[in-house]
């Protein structure tokens, strides 16, 4: 048999092996899909030092909006500039967009002002978490409120447990208290391998805010 004949036979054998492998994988996936029968909203927590936590959360909200769902955003850190997501989603008819007042920022630390702003933001969060008309809730950078002791994580865990059954909730922040980590349905950690800013690249609109 020629070399080309051997090559053809080897390719056919490899293709047959790949088909068997894929069929086995499909059977496992189909079994998992069949076993996942519960229908309800989920809680998702994004933590870690890497870039992309809020970006991922807003991307998920865009997906929810694509399905006609009603959404609410509460940002627990107020920056110096209006963010691209606020400019884009802030006027959307199916989005309630709230930015924490004059409290927590990265530039100024005024504990009394931050405490008051955190409590006001949490009152808004409690309202949307209890509202059956809201399908998707994003609590952006909320975990910093627990890191600095401005809010009680037990209140958040309780509100999540008692929210409307269909409601999906995403939360972001670098770290999170153990009670929250243990309570959520999904927890993903974004790690930092490299960041342009560390190499002297200036933060820019459309990327960092």
Percent of the chain with pLDDT over 90: 62
| Judgement on whether residues 6 and 32 belong to the same structural domain of the protein | yes
Range of the domain at 65: 41-193
Which range among 37-41, 178-182, 195-199 shows the weakest confidence by mean pLDDT? Answer: 195-199
- Check: CB of residue 40 under 8 Å from CB of residue 50: no
| Judgement on whether residues 23 and 90 belong to the same structural domain of the protein | no
| Judgement on whether residues 111 and 167 belong to the same structural domain of the protein | yes
| Judgement on whether residues 2 and 69 belong to the same structural domain of the protein | no
Q: Does residue 207 lie within any of the structural domains? A: no
Residue 1 has pLDDT above 60, yes or no: no
| Judgement on whether residues 27 and 75 belong to the same structural domain of the protein | no
User: Rounded CA gap, 48 and 183, in Å?
Assistant: 17
| Judgement on whether residues 75 and 7 belong to the same structural domain of the protein | no
Q: How confident is the model at residue 108 (pLDDT cuts 50, 70, 90)?
A: low
Q: Which residue has the tokens 């005024």?
A: 110
| Judgement on whether residues 9 and 55 belong to the same structural domain of the protein | no
Q: Does residue 198 lie within any of the structural domains? A: no
Q: How confident is the model at residue 38 (pLDDT cuts 50, 70, 90)?
A: confident
Our count of domains for the chain comes to: 2
Q: Give me 158's structure tokens.
A: 């309780």
User: Rounded CA gap, 170 and 174, in Å?
Assistant: 14
Q: Which residues have CB under 8 Å from 97's CB, separation 6+?
A: 72, 73, 86, 89, 90
Cβ burial 55-80 (10 Å sphere, 16+ → b, else e): bebbebbeebbeeebbbbbbbbbbbe
Region 145-162: mean pLDDT is 96
Q: Does residue 172 lie within any of the structural domains? A: yes
**Which has more pLDDT, 77 or 188?**
188
Predicted local confidence at residue 129, as pLDDT: 98
């Amino acid at each position: 048999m020629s070399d080309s004949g051997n090559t053809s036979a080897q390719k056919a054998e490899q293709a047959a092996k790949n088909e068997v492998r894929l069929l086995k994988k499909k059977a496992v996936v189909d079994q998992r899909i069949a076993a996942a029968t519960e229908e309800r909203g989920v809680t998702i927590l994004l933590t870690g030092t890497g870039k992309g936590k809020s970006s991922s959360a807003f991307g998920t909200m865009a997906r929810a909006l694509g399905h006609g769902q009603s959404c609410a955003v509460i940002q627990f850190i107020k920056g110096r500039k209006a963010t691209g997501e606020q400019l884009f989603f802030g006027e959307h008819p199916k989005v309630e967009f709230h930015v924490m007042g004059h409290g927590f920022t990265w530039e100024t630390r005024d504990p009394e002002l931050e405490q008051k702003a955190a409590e006001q933001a949490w009152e808004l969060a409690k309202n949307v978490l209890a509202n059956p008309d809201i399908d998707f809730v994003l609590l952006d950078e909320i975990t910093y409120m627990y890191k600095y002791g401005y809010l009680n994580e037990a209140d958040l865990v309780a509100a999540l447990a008692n929210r409307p059954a269909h409601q999906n909730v995403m939360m972001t922040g670098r770290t999170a208290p153990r009670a929250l980590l243990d309570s959520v349905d999904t927890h993903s950690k974004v790690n930092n391998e490299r960041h342009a800013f560390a190499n002297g690249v200036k933060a820019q609109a459309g990327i960092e805010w």
